[in-house]
Structure 1
């Protein structure tokens, strides 16, 4: 079975709810009116509560009653209808129009008791009848006409049914109007999603109105599309920058390999010194390519890094990075205080190694490394960086003009910034007093290991 649309389900739900409310209200109204009218009729035919038929009134009734009932005349005022019946078959004593006697009435006259029930006049007119034993073998019957009340109740019932029908129709119309109003923002959201799916236009936004759940959903959707657009732009920029950076080493490699192949194919061997320099150049280009590809992989993995972060000893991570830098020939002087943080150990170690490698390129002397209160400071004694270049040092593929002759991809500090940001920290680079550059990396955490 095909599932109904959300609009039709919401319309049906509102219609059923309103129709049920209308039915309950109209049913309660009919019940109250019916009970009020019946109570009024019952008061007319029954003696007051706690009081039986007054014996003096009964004697007066017996002395004035007639053996023949009055003619039926329903056009004037409603007559008070009473009669005395006897269980032994004596003639009934009437004070007005006759009330049809039933076997139950005769049983009350013979055995006692009372009964409130519906009865009829001889012409079939509906009556409310109260029969009560008033002495040995006799009972009094009081009646009141109820056919007019029953007709009014039938008209009232028909009126209420008509009102209910109009109410259900109005509920359906209101439900449809409500569903349209409520789902209009959802339709806009659906249209935006379909538009994005067809055109891949992530600049599409939805107007936000109010502060309800739909507005929050629209805001979240706009935030999502903005984040996706930013991610797509960064991805495109990364691909474009990577293509630009890869073009130079690949071109150099192809030129050198073509030269080697041409010399072999033409039988004109290169001089041993020239051939060695060519091969060394090829090896260096391969090393540059390997470094560049590794850095690109690190950046791309960092953008979608979902590896669980763990609590780690950051001072141990820094010490491991220092030992790796020393193996590469860097001179490092370190002072490390304990610091525990939450993050990815491999990413943070790679970030520290990049800082040390970057400092080692420019520092003629020892690199000073200090870790205190969660702040890692890496200081070199190189020439420093021009002030106008400082805002660009953490950008991907950006390299200072003075550093372009040196090996590197321009991604090292970008990897540092990304790793620190993922760990919830901050990093900044500035010129140190007296020359050189100082990098300050701060991570949240504590000096003692958590009890978790």
Structure 2
């Protein structure tokens, strides 16, 4: 089972974190302030209540009247139990009696000389309750403001970090595409130094090390292939001088295969150096593909869906068609079909399809994939085709007509190679145009309908 993965940006993570911390702090401070204000108001109310009952006691004892004043009562039967011990000790006191269904009551009681108890109780309401509600509302507004302010601050801070990370990712993607001039540290810019700069410097160092290693491998490969050209050519010439016979044919065949391999390795090395430039001509793509396929393999039909003129290098385009067609004929099964639709060329066979490694990682030299497609060969044909496509500014994609293992007896599988030629030709400096998303989507829909 696949785990559910939630994708979100750094800015929102920072915003949520700051907002959550701000909300917790605001809630804690609000509770503290609310309780402190409530306790302070209750203490003031108890002091006021005590002053009133003392004043009532003085008036009651001075007037010798049986009716107490100021709503006080003598020997109130509902006097809280907490005050009765104080009265027995001839001490006055006050008490806050909480009621679950209403506001608390403020009690104050004093003992009289004759042993009676004079008490007064009122509800904690009125202006005090109004002030407490206003305080709670102010605290709520302040807490919400803190949360929104923290969220905005998080978006601002996180946006800066996220923007630098996106620039670093875009620069790293450009480096991964083979551009050696791009520096991730220069791409992110900024005056403040943080962990993003450390990451950028590490990526630049890694890129330099990888490019140096790749360049060293390319040089070694090119040097070995170049040094092999002379002895292989001599071997091929000597093989031609052998007397006719089956052994001579085998020697000439193997010598020719070695020569082809050496030439392919040299071509791969040149393509890896990124120094190749296209020699442009304007051609009718459908007519060019039809004639070249007919010359390479007359048994392969070419279907033209839409005609198109392109500005490209005919020699390199022919090389791509040759390698793709050879791969389809050699490792696939008939029928092999070629379709031209605008600037898109598709070559399909009905064999077992491309191996999963090639679909996932693209063609790689000296890796031929599954054994059912790789009885012979060195994996250089598709590698050269992909490299020549890059020189033309084109895209070469690989897919299977049906996923591996899902083909039923009533369906046909097969490998499909699709060459997407650009609308505009590459410049002399080697920069390539990029197909827009709408063009890629439209071309992809056309190919899907054709499949």
Q: TM-score normalised to the size of structure 1?
A: 0.44
Which of the pair has more CA radius of gyration?
Answer: 1
